[in-house]
Amino acid sequence: MKGVLLAGGTGSRLYPLTRITNKHLLPIGDRPMVSYGIEALVTAGVTEIMVVTGGTHAGEFLRLLSNGDEFGVDRLLYAYQDRPGGIAQALGLAERFAADEAIVVMLADNILERTFRSSVDSFADEGKGARLLLAEAEDPEHLRHVGVPELDGGGRLVRIVEKPDVPPSRYCVTGVYLYDPTVFEVISTLKPSGRGELEITDVNNHYVETGAALYDVIEGFWGDAGESIDAYYAVNDYVRRNGANRL
C-alpha cells in the first residue's frame, strides 16, 4: 500500500500565521507539522509516500523532507497542485504514483495520538472499497464544522453529511482515508462544488452509496491543526504534553 500526504491549501484559517509560509510547515511541538504525517504513515507500515503541495513555498518541503531517509521512508515523491482545486483534485495528482495499488490518504494537518496501523492492515487484507477513520467528538458543537457520518441502526454508514446544522451522529470524519485503486475513476466523474472544488466528501459518499465503505473509530486524541488558530494551539499543547503516533 502507498501513502499520499496532502499538504496544499492556502491556510487561510490560520492567517496571519500562514502569511509567509505553508501551514504544514508551522511547528507542532518541536518540529514542523508535516513531519507528523510522514511519521504516522511510516508507523502504519507505509513507506512509499507522495507529498502533494502547492503555492509559493512548495520547495521548502523538499528542503525539509529531502528523500525521506530521516523518517524511514523508502521512496518519497512530490506533486505540485498548481491551483486550489480541492482535496479530491489534489489526490487525483497521485494517480500515476499509486499505479493501481491501494492507498492511504492523510491530510497533513491531522495529528493523531495513536497509530492507525491496524486499519491499514485490515484494508490491505480486504483490498477493495474504502475505509474511513472516524473520531468521537468531545464537543458536539464541533460537529457542525466538519463531515459527520450518518449511521443506521446496525452501525453501517448511510452517508457523510458536510457541516450539518443537526449532526446525525457523535462522530466526525478525520482526514485519514483508505481507498482501492478505483478512487481515481471516482474522482474523474466528480463535478466542482459550489466553491469550485472537487470535494473528498463526494468521493466518500460514492463508496458509501455503493455499499463499499467501512470505518474504524480511532483510539486516543485526534486534532485538526489547520481548523483554526485555537485548534492549532490546542493540538500544539496536546502534543507537547503527550506526543503523537504512539503504538
- pLDDT tens profile 181-204: 999 999 999 999 988 899 999 999
Share of the chain above pLDDT 70, in %: 100
HSE-up of residue 95 (Cα within 13 Å, Cβ side) = 12
pLDDT at residue 11, rounded to an integer: 84
pLDDT at residue 126, rounded to an integer: 84
The three-class DSSP label of residue 52 is strand
Domain ranges of the chain: 2-242
pLDDT at residue 127, rounded to an integer: 80
Q: What stretches in the chain show pLDDT beneath 50? A: none
pLDDT at residue 96, rounded to an integer: 97
pLDDT at residue 67, rounded to an integer: 95
Give the CATH fold of the 2-242 domain.
Spore Coat Polysaccharide Biosynthesis Protein SpsA; Chain A (3.90.550)
- Average confidence score pLDDT of the chain: 95
The three grid cell numbers given for residue 147, joined into one nine-digit string: 463531515
